[in-house]
């Protein structure tokens, strides 16, 4: 593993465990057994590390966004992709735990985050369109209803990890499952009978 990859791995671990306020270049250099100068050669500050890890997260979910726009997608595939996204967000959970501070401080991440939210919104719209055409999801019975559902799902996606930090002592799988089930429950009122059968 390259020095840069080792730094990113250690930074992800420390950011997740300690938060972005407590993790420093010196604490990372000490954990890795390298000099502060060597670490600064790769990343000049913790903000650069945060942005690099944000880019890693985006790279890992980018393929899902593309796949979700394929016209042959079914409900099961959409739900499985959502579950994968929940797991990836948990892997990089510090980003959501400290999201407000990060986006206030690092304008480039703020802009990237907004762009990703637009992609996610598009992903849901395209997928919902496919599900409606296949008879798995109900047509909107109120104009703009699907868009409001998407907003609710995005708000859940952005805030489930901070919510879990407050309300759960457990970590890991049980937390991921709890909020993923909440995500799925948000979809069920919009499914047709055929969609519910596929969902079950």
Kindly state whether residues 39 and 96 are assigned to the same domain: no
β-bridge mates for residue 137, sequence order: 191
Kindly state whether residues 8 and 71 are assigned to the same domain: no
Kindly state whether residues 38 and 134 are assigned to the same domain: no
Flag whether pLDDT at 9 surpasses 70: yes
Query: What value does the mean pLDDT of the chain take?
Result: 91
Predicted local distance difference test score (pLDDT) of residue 77: 81
Instruction: Output the pTM of the full model.
Output: 0.89
What gap in Å lies between CA 51 and CA 94, rounded to an integer?
12
Flag whether pLDDT at 66 surpasses 80: no
Residue 98's Cβ-count burial label (10 Å; 0-12, 13-18, 19+) is middle
Kindly state whether residues 18 and 100 are assigned to the same domain: no
Q: Which helix (H) or strand (E) holds 35?
A: none
- The string of DSSP letters for 50-85 reads HHHHHHHHHHHHHHHHHHHTSTT--HHHHHHHHHHH
Question: Is residue 130 assigned to a domain?
Answer: yes
């Amino acid at each position: 593993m390259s020095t840069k990859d080792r730094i990113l791995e250690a930074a992800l671990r420390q950011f997740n465990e300690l938060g972005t306020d407590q993790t420093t270049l010196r604490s990372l250099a000490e954990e890795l057994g390298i000099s502060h100068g060597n670490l600064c050669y790769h990343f000049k500050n913790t903000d650069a590390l945060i942005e690099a890890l944000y880019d890693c997260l985006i790279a890992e979910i980018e393929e899902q966004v593309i796949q979700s726009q394929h016209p042959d997608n079914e409900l099961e595939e959409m739900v499985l992709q959502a579950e994968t996204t929940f797991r990836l967000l948990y892997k990089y959970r510090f980003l959501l735990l400290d999201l407000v501070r990060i986006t206030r401080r690092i304008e480039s991440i703020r802009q990237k985050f907004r762009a990703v939210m637009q992609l996610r919104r598009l992903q849901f719209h395209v997928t919902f369109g496919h599900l409606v055409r296949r008879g798995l999801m109900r047509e909107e019975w109120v104009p703009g209803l699907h868009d409001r559902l998407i907003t609710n799902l995005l708000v859940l996606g952005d805030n489930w990890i901070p919510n879990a930090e407050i309300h759960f002592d457990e970590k890991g799988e049980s937390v991921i499952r709890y909020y993923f089930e909440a995500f799925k429950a948000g979809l069920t009122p919009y499914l047709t009978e055929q969609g519910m059968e596929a969902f079950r």
